[in-house]
A = this chain, B = another copy of it.
Amino acid sequence: MLTSDMPSEKDIPDVTEAELAVMERVWSTPDVTIRAIADELYPGGGVAHYTTVQKLIERLEAKDFLRRDNSQMAHRFTAIVGREELIGRRLRAMAEKLCGGSMTPLLTSLVESSKLTAKEFDELRELIDKVSRKRKRS
């Protein structure tokens, strides 16, 4: 009863840890094959490891994270959801769970809780200046 499954967050798919490891290869290698991913994630792995990757790919495809090209016998895969998009989704989910849906408290909390290094502070300041300047022009 305490686990609220509102459609607002439930409908936007995320990836598990193993799926993310697969997506990393899909992002870095264009038209990657299952074999290539398996060889990289499980060096010297057997059939079981190969089909593990296959199952992960199958689930990622079901969640529309990647597209399959089956024109050749060994299928090729391309990312639909990029890293930036995934970051955005997770930030949004986080804002939903922790801040009533607003992204602003995420920023202010980060600043207030002193969880940023001096360097990151400077980066953030610069970023804000840039965006607010750009915002003004429109």
Contacts and interface: CB of A to CB of B under 8 A. Distances in A.
Residues of A contacting B: mostly: helix
**Identical chains in the assembly:** 2
Interface residues of A, number: 54
A20 interface: yes
Given A87-B110, A107-B120, A18 B41 contact: no
Contacts of A103: 110, 113-114, 116, 120, 123
A42 to B, nearest CB: 7
Given A3-B18, A98-B86, A127 B115 contact: no
Interface string A92-126: 10100111001111111111111110101101110
